[in-house]
Amino acid sequence: MVVDDSAVIRGLISRWLEADSMIQVVASAHNGAMALRNLVSSGAEVVILDVEMPEMDGMTALPKIIEAAPHVQVIMASTLTRRNAEISIRAMSAGAADYIPKPESNREVNAAQHFRHELLEKVKALGAVARGRLRKGQTQGQSPRPAAPRPAVTPVTPPVMQSRVALRPERPAVLTLQKPSSVLPRIVTIGSSTGGPQALFKVLGGLGKGISVPLLITQHMPPTFTTILADHLARATGIPCHEGRDGERIEPGTIYLAPGDFHMTLEDRATGPIIRLNQEQPENYCRPSVDPMLRSVLKIYGPATLSVILTGMGSDGLSGCRDVVQAGGSVIAQDEASSVVWGMPGAVSNAGLASAILPLDDISGTITRYLQGVRR
């Protein structure tokens, strides 16, 4: 379901979605009230929800949608303003699965194509999440919602729009674990994407203010959003947190968040490691990307690197975590049950790279134990 007060944007998004044979637009609405009236009868699995609309805006509609259909996945759509970034991050804390920066109708074609790629990828991944949750609900005796009829199609993704979701490795019959590093970690790195903001609040909030090492985070987010997220994390956790600045020396007990549209890496100096930002080519369709961050950290910290991979689509961080393990460091992955999308942590877990695969609630305690040299 596409919910936006602009007929132009509704039509544009709907055409892009319908062009993919794996997606059907079952309804559209010009405000939240209309969306709620049609939600259950439409059989929608994913709702793309505009932030600013007349009569009932996105933030007002969000909790009502979640209450009416708990398995439905909501993607907030907003233009890149500071106010809308604030609202979108609050929406994710209130239960939205993800967000997408909405293109203006007069944006350049390249920007629109990037939006289209990201939109299709997120809708397909979150549609799978919704179906999985609906199946679980049915097995527990809940009544299934009526589903809209769907045409018989052969799923084909055009090469130019190849999704990161398809890059997940096959799951082995049994997940294997690595032994934790025997070296005390001197830095913690975190990679996250879809569902990441909520996960970051939980993990970082559980660490406490006395953390003794620097923390580097790459969360897949656009500019402005990362600025707001860093502010929210600092307020919520009490730990100093800000976007990394080029040339800045990293300090223990501080959280550095990769700015939107920049890879954040480290460079060793005589006075200590400093942050370097660059706009080199995206990796795994992402900028910022987890892999370049991990490669640069390993050059300095080697086996003293502790990497944490949280919920997110695709496989960003897989290559970097493989390097972490080869260097003698440790990897912690979020488990499938607590992840919004088990793409990034699933790729690491399926590859046998994790020393621990944990529910979200257990990750901060495990980080703390590793930092104290307790490896169980």
Could you say which of 28, 71, 163, 220 is catalytic? 220
One of 42, 193, 330, 339 is an active-site residue; which one? 193
**pLDDT at residue number 147:** 40
pTM for the whole thing? 0.86
In terms of phi and psi (left: phi > 0; alpha: psi -120 to 50; beta: otherwise), the region of 100 is beta
Residues of the chain with CATH 3.40.50.2300: 2-162
The string of pLDDT tens digits covering residues 44-82 is 999 999 998 999 999 999 999 999 999 999 999 887 778
- In this prediction, residue 138 carries a pLDDT of 52
Q: Kindly state which CATH superfamily the domain 2-162 is placed in.
A: Response regulator (3.40.50.2300)
CA distances from 2 to 35, 36, 119 (A): 9, 12, 12
Does the active-site annotation cover 307?
A: no
- Stretch(es) of the chain classified as CATH 3.40.50.180: 173-371
Does the active-site annotation cover 117? no
Give me the pLDDT at residue 145, please.
41
Exposed / middle / buried, residue 274 (Cβ in 10 Å: 0-12, 13-18, 19+) = middle
Catalytic residue, candidates 316, 323, 335, 338: 316
pLDDT tens profile 117-161: 889 999 999 999 999 888 877 544 443 444 444 333 333 333 333
Given a cut of 70, the residues of the chain with pLDDT beneath it are 103-111, 138-171, 173, 376
In CATH terms, is domain 173-371 a member of 3.40.50.180?
A: yes
Is 316 a catalytic site residue? yes
* Residue-level pLDDT at 160: 33
The closest alpha carbon to 181, from 27, 301, 271, belongs to 301
